[in-house]
Structure 1
Amino acid sequence: MKNYFYGFLLIVLPFTLCATKTTENALVLQYPSPAEIWEATLPLGNGRIGMMPDGGIDSEHIVLNDITMWSGSEDTEALHPEAIHYLPEIRKLLLEGKNLEAQNMMYQHFHCGGKGSAFGQAKDTPYGCFQMLGDLHIRYSYPNNDPVNNYRRTLSLNEAVAYTCFQKGNTKYAREYFASFADDILIIRLTSNKKKGINFELTLSRPERATISVKNNVLQMEGQLNDGFNTDKGVRYLTKVQIINKGGTLLSDDSSISLDKADEAIIFISTSTDMLDKNYRVSVDKLLAKAGETPYKRLKKTHINSYHTKFDRVELNLGKQNNDLFTDERLKDFQQSNDPSFAALYFQFGRYLMISGTRENSLPLNLQGLWANTVQTPWNGDYHLNINVQMNYWPAEVCNLSELHKPLLHFTQSLVSSGAATAKTFYGAEGWVAHVITNPWHFTAPAEHASWGATNTGGAWLCQHLWDHYAFTQDNVYLQTIYPTLKGAADFFLSNMIEEPTHGWMVTAPSSSPENAFYLPGSKVPVYVCMGPTIDVEIIRELFDNVLKAAEILDIRDKTVEKIKVAKPKLPPLQISSKGYLQEWLYDYEEVDPHHRHVSHLYALYPSNRISPYKTPQLAEAARKTLERRGDGGTGWSRAWKISFWARLHDGNRAYKLVKNLLQPAIDKKTSMSGQGGGTYPNLFCAHPPFQIDGNFGGTAGIAEMLIQSQDGYIELLPALPDNWATGSFKGLCVRGGGEVNAHWKNKQVTSITIKSHANHTFKIKIPSYARTIKLNKKKFSEQKEYISLPMKKGDIAVIVIDSFSH
C-alpha cells in the first residue's frame, strides 16, 4: 500500500474549523455534545450508501446504510384469483348504499393473497423490508483521563461533510466523515495535534444474517437477506472496512481491527449488494483499492466538487444565519423567535437530503429515505403511494434537482407489468393499476386490509410525476417514452369505472379516501369502502387531461384518446358541502375524524392545480374552509402538506404558521415523545412519529411554493410571502416551461427577476400590482401590465427590474 504525506495544514484544518466561529452564511447543523439518540445523529449519503455517526467520545456508533438493503422478493402469492368473483356483489352493495356490507365482503375476500405487507412487519415475508446495513463501532482510548472541552459536532450542508472536534487536556482530536459522491465509498478521517494520538479498536456487526471475518487487516461483513420463502434468492451484501494509517501499529483478530499510537488514520468503508450490481464483490474491492491509493486531500476535494454541482444550483437568503446557536437550540427557539434564516436552513437541508439520499440510476427514496437503524424498519420502509413517496419528490423539479426525479420516474414505469397483471386478476380490466403500497419487487395488489389498502389510484398519482417532469423540462423525447405508461393507467380506469345511480357519473368502485372513515346516515360504525371518493376523481381527471395533452403534443390519435374525450365529461364535479367545505366523498358523509391527518380531497389544490384562487375562487374558498376544519396539527408529513395548501391559497402567514408547526421539537429533555405526533427531531429529521423523511421533503417543497408558483400557466413571484420574510432573495428555483428563476425582494416587494430558459418556450410572468415601471433587459415600460410574455430560446436570459410606487 502506498504511503502519502498529507501535510501539516491538512492536520490542523479540522481543529481550526471546529474551534472558530462558522462563517455567517454557512449552512450548518451543529451540536455541543454527542448524539444520545439515533434521531440526533448526522445523516451522510451519496445517493447509494450512507452513514450516521453519533460523535461519541470514548465509543462511537456509526449506523451504515445501503439503499438496496431489501429483504423479500417477488410475491407469487400476491395475486388473489378468487377476489374478482366477489367484485360484482361488492359493487352491487355499493350501488345500493350498503357500504358496510360491501366493506365486510372486501375484508374477507377482496385483498391480496399471502401476507401482503404483514401490517408493517414484513422483513421475513415475500413483501420484504428496507433494512439497515450494519453498525460500525469505534472504541477509542486516550493517554489520560483529562476532561473533554470545546466539543462540537457539525454537519456542513455546503460540503456534505460532518465533523467531530473536541479537546482532552492539551490534545485536540478531530474527525471528518463523508460519503463520497466522486469515489462511491464511505470515509472517516481521524487526526490529533499530538504525535501517536490516535488509538482505537473497530468492529462491525449486524443484528442478524451477518458473518464477520478479518483478512489481511481488512474487516469484512457479508450475508444474505431473507427472500420471504426461505430459499437462496435473497439479496446478498458485502461490506469491507480498511484502515490507512500514518504511523502506529495496525492489529487485528477474528472480528476486529485496531490501531495503536498512530498520528492519523483514514477509515474506508466499501459496500454493495447484488440487487442492482451482480458483480458487487468485484465492485467493493475496486472501490476500496482505488480510494486507498488516492491522497485524502484529493478524495475530499473531488467529493465536495461533485456535490456542489447539484447543491449550489439553488440559494435562499432570508437573513444572516444565526450560527452562534446550536441547531437544537435554534429548533426550540424557532417557536418564539423571529429567525427567518432557520427556515432557509431547513429548506436547504431538504435539498441536501435529496442529493444525499437518491441518485439517478438507483431505487427511489423510501419512507426513511436512505437512512434506517433497524432491520424491521417502521412500515417496512417501503413506498406508500397514497402520498408519501410522491411527497419525497415534490421538491425535485422546483428545487433544481430534476435528474434526481428519475429514480421515481423509472420505478413508476417498472410497475406496469405487475400492475397489468393486478388489473386483470382483480378487476378484469385493461391497462395497469397500483394500489397503496409497493416495494422494489413491484407489488401492486390491493393490500391485506381494505380499510387502507383498497385505494386504487396510487399508480395514477405516480403518473402525475411523469407529467410534471415533462412540464418542467419540455423534453418531447422523454414524453414519447412515458406516453404508454400514462395511456395504460388511463386504460385501467376507462375499463373499470362504473356508473353511479344518482347522477350517472363514472366512478371508481370499490375504493376509499386514504385511511379516513365516514359514518353512513343513522349509523356510528366507521366505514372506509366507498364509490368515487374525491381524490380518485381529481387524480383520474388530471390523468385524462395529461394523456390528452401528451397525445396532442406527440400528434397521437388512438382509441384511448377517443374514450377519454367521451368519459371525461361524465366524471363527478368537485362538490361543496352544505357547510361550505369541499366534500371528501361522493356523498356528504360525516367524517369519523374531522381532524384526520390525510387531506386527500384537496389533491386538486396541491399537488394538482384544478383549484385556484384565480380560476376557481368558490372552490378555493371551500378548500380554505376544509383546512380550517382539519386544523393545523397532524403528523409531520401532514403538516408539511398543509404548508403547500396554504401557499396555493396565497396565505403566506398561515403557511408560515405551518412551517413553525412542522418544526416543533419532537423530543423533550428526557428524549421521549412530547405532544401527539409530528414535529422535528434534533437532527432536523421529520417525526411522523417515528422518523419519516417525507415531511422533510414536503417542508422544502412548501417553502419553495411560498416563493414561486407556475401551475396556472404563468410565473408568480412571492405568492405566499409571510410578513417576517420581508426582505430576501433566491437563486435557481425552477418553473414549468423549462425556466430557472432568480429573484430579489425588499419590503415584501419584488425588485428584480432573472429568468434563464432551458428550453424554447414563451414564459408568462405576472406583474405585481405595486409595480410602477418595469425594465425588461434594460427596456423601460411605464404602462401598467398584469402580465408580460417572454418568447425565449434555450439558453436565453431575461432580466426584469421592477420599480414600485413605494420605492
Structure 2
Amino acid sequence: MPLGNGRLGMTPDGGLTNEKIVLNDITLWSGSEQDANNYEAHKSLPAIRKLILEGKNDEAQALVNRDFVCKGPGSGGAQWGKYQTLGALDIHYDHKGGDAVIATPEDYKRELSLDSAIAGCSYTLNQVKYKREYFCSFDDDVNIIKISADKPGMINCRISISRPEKFAVKTEGGQLQMSGQLDNGTDGKGMQYLARVIVKLKEGNLSSDQNSLIVKDADELIIYVSAATDFRGFAFKEKTQQSLSSAIKKSYETQKNRHVVNFSKLFNRLSIDLGSGEAEERPTDSRLAAFYEHSESDPGMAALFFQYGRYLSISSTRVGLLPPNLQGLWAKEINTPWNGDYHLDVNVQMNHWPVEVTNLSELNLPLADLVKGLVKPGERTAKAYYNAEGWIAHVITNVWGFTEPGESASWGAANAGSGWLCNNLWEHYAFSMDRKYLKEIYPVLKGSALFYKSAQVKDPKTGWMLTSPSVSPENTFYLPSGKTASISMGPTIDNQIIRELFNNVITASTILGIDAEFRKELENRLKLVPPAGVISKDGRIREWIEDYKETDPRHRHISHLYGLYPASLITPTRTPALAGAARKTLEVRGDDGPSWTIAYKLLFWARLQDGNRAFKLFKELLKPTLRLDINYGAGGGVYPNMLSAGPPFQIDGNFGATAGLAEMLIQSHDGFIDLLPALPDAWKAYGNVKGLKARGNFTVNMNWKDGRITGYRISSTTAKKVKVKVNGEIREIISEKS
C-alpha cells in the first residue's frame, strides 16, 4: 500500500509475523554533478548533416555514436547516479499463542483510504483483534505507525531498520538510527542521509540492543520514523530530530486529524461518481480480475482508478522539492529500474499530465523548478554539440542537471526533451493564467526556442528548416538500401514541438509586452517550420521527414502524434484530415504495449473523441499482472495494489491513465470547453463530477444521465465569457464568480 507526503514514502506489506515497510525519501540519490559534454562534438556536425542529406543515415549514425554522445558511460555510470530506496523498517511480531496458530488468522484485511491517505491492516489471532494504521504525516513530516490490540499487554515486537548497502545502525537514548553516505561516482563521498525511529508505548516495556528496539507487553505502540538527506544543503540531522520532537508531543488523534485536514485540502477539490455496483464490495485484486472480464458491470472502477492517480500525485511530490520520478517515490531497490530517473521523451511529462485538469495545479511547480535547473547546463550542451544559442536537454536527466545526449545515438540524440518540457511549463500557465508565473518561466521558454531556431538547418528539397541530427524517440527505420538507422533530420515530433513552442513564446511575449524583435523573428521562422503533420502514402502521419518504413510497426513510442496530445495542433474540428491520419496511425500501432504506452493511446483516442476505444484501452491498462521483468513490448497491466506495470513498476501508466480519463470527460484545448467529448457507453447511464479544471482557470461541475448533460456550472475567480460545448452545441456563457 503506497503512502507518501510528497517527500517521505512508506509501503507496508502487512506481514503477519514479519512486516517489511519500505521507506523512501524523494531526494535520496547517488551520483553527483558532472560535465559529460564533448566540447569537440560540433566539429563533426557538418559531416553528420551532409551524410543525412545524402541519404547515408547509417554512416551519419556511426559518426553520432563516435562524437555526438556524452563522454563516459552516461546513464550507466556511477556519477550519473540512481534514485534509491532509503531502506526498510522490519517489525518482527511475537503473537502470544505460538506459530502454529499464526498460520491461520481470521478476518485478515488490508485497506488504503484515498481520501485520508491512511492505510490499515487488521486481523484476529488467538481471540485477539489486532489493528495497524499507517500514514506519512502531512503535519509534522514523519511516518507514523500505530499498532493496537483489543486486549491488554498483547503487543510484543522487535523493530529494526536496514538497507542493502552503505548504512550503519545504532540505538541511542531509546532512538534507533540508520545513517550512511551514497557513492557520488568520484571520491565516494556522495549524498548523506539519516533515519531516526522512536516509539511511544501505552503500558508495557521498551528496551534496546545494538540495532533494534524491543517492545514487550504493551497495550498500544506508536512508531515514528523521521528521515532526510543533505540534498541542497538541507540540515538533515537537526531537522529529523525536530520533526520527531514535534510529532511525539501531540496525541495520536491530533496528529492524525491534522494529517487528514492537510491532505484533504488537495484531494477534496474534486469528486467523481460514475455509478456503483456490487463489485465495489470485492477485494481489489478480485475486483480487478472481474473488471477485465466484465468491465460494463463496474462503472465505479474508473472513478476509483482516477482518484488513485490523484492520490499518487499528491503523495509523490511537494512544492519546493522534486517531481515524481519513474517510480513516483516508491522505489524498493538500490538499482532502481532505469535508475529511477527522469526520461524526457514522454515519461516525466506523462507524470504531470493529470495535475492541471484534476485540480492539483501547484504539483506542476516541482517540475518547473527542475527544468529551470537544466537551463545553465543546457546552454553548455547547446554550444558543445550544435554551436547553438539557447539551451537543450536530450532524453534523460537526473537531479544533478544532466543535459547531454545519451550514450547511444539510437535513442540518446533526440532533440525533443527540452521542448517537450516547455509544454508542461506552458500548460500550468494555460490552466492557472498566473501572469507572475509566466514571467518567471519566460526565459526558460525563450531559451528553448532560441536553441531550436539557432540549430535548425534548411532542407534543400522542401525549403523547410529542420533539426539535424535527431531521432524520433527510440524508433528505427529502413533505408532504401535495406540498412537501418535512427538518426535523421526533422522527425515529426521535433517539428510539432517547435511549432507549438514558437507559438507559445510569441503569445507569452505579447502578454508580457516584451521581446517584440525576437517575437518577429519567431513569426518569420514559423513560416519555414513543417506543418503539424504530413500524411504518408498509406494514409498515416509520417514519423520522419522522409516516408521511411519503420522496423517495428507496433513500436511502443508514438511520438509523431505529439501534435494530437499533449499539443493541440491536430484536432477533429480544425484538422479533420490529420485527425483521420492519426486514427490510422493508431490502428497500425495496435492497442498493446507497456502500461505507459497504453495510457498514451487512451489519451490519443480520447482526443479523437472515440470514447469506446479509449475505454477499451483503459480496460487493457487494468489487466491484472504479477510480471516483474523489464519489458519493452506487449504487456502492461496493473499489480494487485493498482500500481502500473511496465513491467516492472513504472508510475507513468497510473498518471497517464488519470489524464486520459479526465480527457474523456472534459477538453479545453480547441477554443472552447467541451463537456463529455469522449463519453464511453459504459458511463452513459449516470455521472457526476465536481472540480475539474479547464484552460483559462475555469472550474467545472457537471452531471449527466443517459449520455446527456443535465446540469453544469462553470466558475472562475472573475466572471468572464467562455465558450462551452454542451450536448453537441457550442454556446457562449458568462462564468460564475467563484
TM-score (norm 2): 0.97
SS in 2 for 1:570: coil
Contact 1:737–1:759 at 8 Å: present in 2 too? no
Query: Quick one: distance in 1 between partners of 2:58 and 2:269?
Result: 53
Read off the aligned partner of 1:167 and give its amino acid letter: T
Query: Quick one: distance in 2 between partners of 1:224 and 1:167?
Result: 42
Q: 2:730 aligns with which of 762, 787, 799?
A: 787
In the other structure, the counterpart of 2:154 is 197
What is the CA distance between 1:512 and its match in structure 2? 0.3
In the other structure, the counterpart of 1:596 is 555
Contact 1:474–1:759 at 8 Å: present in 2 too? no
Q: How does 1:417-456 map to 2 (within 5 A)?
A: 417-456=376-415
Q: 2:605 aligns with which of 639, 646, 669?
A: 646
306 and 477 in structure 1: CA distance in 2 versus 1, 3 angstrom threshold: same
Query: Quick one: distance in 1 between partners of 2:720 and 2:455?
Result: 38
In the other structure, the counterpart of 1:26 is none
TM-score (norm 1): 0.89
What is the CA distance between 1:133 and its match in structure 2? 0.1
Q: 2:292 aligns with which of 306, 325, 335?
A: 335
Read off the aligned partner of 2:97 and give its amino acid letter: N
Contact 2:594–2:632 at 8 Å: present in 1 too? no
SS in 1 for 2:303: helix
What is the CA distance between 1:559 and its match in structure 2? 3.6
Q: 1:142 aligns with which of 95, 99, 112?
A: 95
Contact 1:350–1:700 at 8 Å: present in 2 too? yes
How big is each residue's C-alpha offset from its partner over 1:540-594, in whole Å with a ceiling of 9 and x where there is no partner?
0000000011111112234421221111111112200111011000011001000
Query: Quick one: distance in 2 between partners of 1:426 and 1:108?
Result: 13
Q: How does 1:177-216 map to 2 (within 5 A)?
A: 177-216=134-173
Question: Greater shift after overlay, 614-623 or 139-148?
Answer: 139-148
In the other structure, the counterpart of 2:86 is 133
Contact 2:556–2:633 at 8 Å: present in 1 too? no
Query: Quick one: distance in 2 between partners of 1:584 and 1:750?
Result: 38
How big is each residue's C-alpha offset from its partner over 1:173-216, in whole Å with a ceiling of 9 and x where there is no partner?
00000000111000000000010010000110011110100001
SS in 1 for 2:280: coil
Q: Can you give the 5+ residue segments of structure 1 that lack an aligned partner in the other structure? A: 1-41, 770-785, 798-807
Q: 1:84 aligns with which of 38, 42, 55?
A: 42
What is the CA distance between 1:759 and its match in structure 2? 5.0
Read off the aligned partner of 1:75 and give its amino acid letter: Q
SS in 1 for 2:507: helix
Read off the aligned partner of 1:788 and give its amino acid letter: R
How big is each residue's C-alpha offset from its partner over 1:258-292, in whole Å with a ceiling of 9 and x where there is no partner?
10000000000000011045211110000011111
What is the CA distance between 1:762 and its match in structure 2? 2.5
How big is each residue's C-alpha offset from its partner over 1:333-382, in whole Å with a ceiling of 9 and x where there is no partner?
11122211011100100000000000111011100001100011011000
Read off the aligned partner of 1:260 and give its amino acid letter: K
In the other structure, the counterpart of 1:224 is 181
Q: 1:278 aligns with which of 234, 259, 265?
A: 234
1:464 is aligned to 2:431: no
Read off the aligned partner of 1:295 and give its amino acid letter: S
Query: Quick one: distance in 1 between partners of 2:70 and 2:368?
Result: 25
1:626 is aligned to 2:569: no
In the other structure, the counterpart of 1:105 is 63
SS in 1 for 2:484: coil
Read off the aligned partner of 1:207 and give its amino acid letter: P
What is the CA distance between 1:103 and its match in structure 2? 0.4
Q: 1:269 aligns with which of 202, 220, 225?
A: 225
Q: Kindly, what percent of the aligned residue pairs are identical?
A: 50
In the other structure, the counterpart of 2:14 is 55
1:307 is aligned to 2:268: no
1:320 is aligned to 2:276: yes
Q: How does 1:367-766 map to 2 (within 5 A)?
A: 367-523=326-482, 525-573=483-531, 574-667=533-626, 676-726=634-684, 727-759=686-718, 761-766=720-725
What is the CA distance between 1:412 and its match in structure 2? 1.1
In the other structure, the counterpart of 1:804 is none
Q: 1:251 aligns with which of 207, 213, 219?
A: 207
1:354 is aligned to 2:297: no
What is the CA distance between 1:674 and its match in structure 2? 14
What is the CA distance between 1:689 and its match in structure 2? 1.0
SS in 2 for 1:128: coil
Query: Quick one: distance in 2 between partners of 1:728 and 1:768?
Result: 14
1:796 is aligned to 2:729: no
Query: Quick one: distance in 2 between partners of 1:311 and 1:174?
Result: 25
Read off the aligned partner of 2:463 and give its amino acid letter: G
Query: Quick one: distance in 2 between partners of 1:281 and 1:634?
Result: 44
Read off the aligned partner of 1:710 and give its amino acid letter: S
Query: Quick one: distance in 2 between partners of 1:419 and 1:50?
Result: 31
How big is each residue's C-alpha offset from its partner over 1:412-446, in whole Å with a ceiling of 9 and x where there is no partner?
11111111111011111000010000011000000
How big is each residue's C-alpha offset from its partner over 1:144-199, in whole Å with a ceiling of 9 and x where there is no partner?
03331100011111210000000012100000000001110000000000100100
In the other structure, the counterpart of 1:260 is 216
Query: Quick one: distance in 2 between partners of 1:759 and 1:713?
Result: 19
Contact 1:111–1:450 at 8 Å: present in 2 too? yes
Contact 1:317–1:728 at 8 Å: present in 2 too? yes
What is the CA distance between 1:327 and its match in structure 2? 0.2
Read off the aligned partner of 2:126 and give its amino acid letter: G
What is the CA distance between 1:114 and its match in structure 2? 1.8
Query: Quick one: distance in 2 between partners of 1:288 and 1:642?
Result: 45
Query: Cα RMSD over matched residues?
Result: 1.5
SS in 2 for 1:548: helix
How big is each residue's C-alpha offset from its partner over 1:513-553, in whole Å with a ceiling of 9 and x where there is no partner?
00010001130x32100000000000000000000111111
Contact 2:631–2:648 at 8 Å: present in 1 too? no
Contact 2:319–2:365 at 8 Å: present in 1 too? yes
Query: Quick one: distance in 2 between partners of 1:758 and 1:57?
Result: 51
What is the CA distance between 1:130 and its match in structure 2? 0.1
SS in 2 for 1:87: helix
Query: Quick one: distance in 2 between partners of 1:741 and 1:541?
Result: 30
Q: How does 1:34-53 map to 2 (within 5 A)?
A: 42-53=1-12
Query: Quick one: distance in 1 between partners of 2:37 and 2:111?
Result: 49
Aligned residues: 729
SS in 1 for 2:88: strand
Contact 2:609–2:678 at 8 Å: present in 1 too? yes
Query: Quick one: distance in 1 between partners of 2:632 and 2:272?
Result: 31
Query: Quick one: distance in 2 between partners of 1:150 and 1:98?
Result: 68
Read off the aligned partner of 2:688 and give its amino acid letter: S
Contact 1:93–1:99 at 8 Å: present in 2 too? yes
Q: 2:118 aligns with which of 158, 161, 167?
A: 161
Contact 2:179–2:194 at 8 Å: present in 1 too? yes
Question: Greater shift after overlay, 559-568 or 442-451?
Answer: 559-568
Query: Quick one: distance in 1 between partners of 2:644 and 2:425?
Result: 26
How big is each residue's C-alpha offset from its partner over 1:39-61, in whole Å with a ceiling of 9 and x where there is no partner?
xxx10000000110000000000
SS in 1 for 2:275: coil
